[in-house]
Amino acid sequence: MTSRIRTVLFDLDGTLADTAPDLAQALNALLAEEGKPIMPFATIRPEVSHGATALIKLGFGVAVGSEFERLRKRFLELYAGNICQHTRLFDGIPSLLQSLIEHDINWGIVTNKPAFLTDPLVAQLRPDPAPVCVVSGDTVPNRKPHPEPMLHACAAAGSRPEECLYVGDAERDIQAGKQAGMKTLVALFGYINGHETPERWGADGLIRAPEDILDWVKRHE
């Protein structure tokens, strides 16, 4: 018998919030500081879900090392200083969160973004209702695709894994959710590269808009 979904958990960047404009602005500010040409937003956006490491590699093509770490540190400084200038919840998310509560479903966030960035961003976004849990990349020892942050979020939300649905826009999101024993959905409206094949990630479904999440839950009650 299929368990009723009692908690919906979201990835942050590219699923709950459209953070790409501010991350792209930080990367281009760093490129300008370093005397390099800025990059088109359309080039940067698909890499956002893969974090600062991917963005530095995209912008500078440098391998991990002392120069890489210097650039990464400065990038994070620039981003933290303007973390919610252009970032918004995706269209449809505010009404979805209200609908979830009306259906007695709570919600939370599981992201690989470190807490020093996650916490101020969520505070400035002010989602209503507020999440019952926020699990950042450094909340527990392991990050996605490891299932540990997912299980931590389940416990904080008061639900069993089989009562949780995780929505994300990266393959590691689906891997983490599946390993934790959750249902999973791919957010096709997120930051997915053209060469990626989300239909092969093994998710329980693919959605094109936030409102599709509640429709999926209702169909699988």
**pLDDT tens-digit profile of 183-196?**
999 999 999 988 99
* Span 169-181, average pLDDT: 98
* Span 172-183, average pLDDT: 98
Q: Which two tokens stand for residue 97?
A: 């969160």
Preceding omega of 198 cis (within 30 degrees of 0)? no
- C-beta of residue 204 within 8 angstroms of C-beta of residue 183: yes
Convert the pLDDT of each residue in 125-169 to its tens digit: 999 999 999 999 999 999 999 999 999 999 999 999 999 999 999
For residue 204, indicate whether it is catalytic.
Answer: no
Half-sphere exposure for 65 (CA within 13 Å, toward CB): 5
* Span 189-205, average pLDDT: 95
Catalytic residue among 11, 13, 18, 22: 11
* pLDDT confidence of residue 132: 98
Average pLDDT of every residue of the chain: 96
Domain residues of the chain, as ranges?
A: 7-18+87-219, 20-81
Q: How confident is the model at residue 64 (pLDDT cuts 50, 70, 90)?
A: confident
Residue 106: enclosing H or E segment and its boundaries? strand 106-110
Homologous superfamily (CATH) of 7-18+87-219 is HAD superfamily/HAD-like (3.40.50.1000)
Torsion on CA atoms 154, 156, 157, 160, rounded to nearest 10? 30
Q: Can you give the pTM of this predicted structure? A: 0.95
* Span 16-41, average pLDDT: 98
Convert the pLDDT of each residue in 92-134 to its tens digit: 999 999 999 999 999 999 999 999 999 999 999 999 999 999 9
pLDDT of 1 over the 60 cut: no
Distance CA 162, CA 155 (A): 12
Distance CA 202, CA 3 (A): 19
* pLDDT confidence of residue 220: 84
Residue type, 139: T
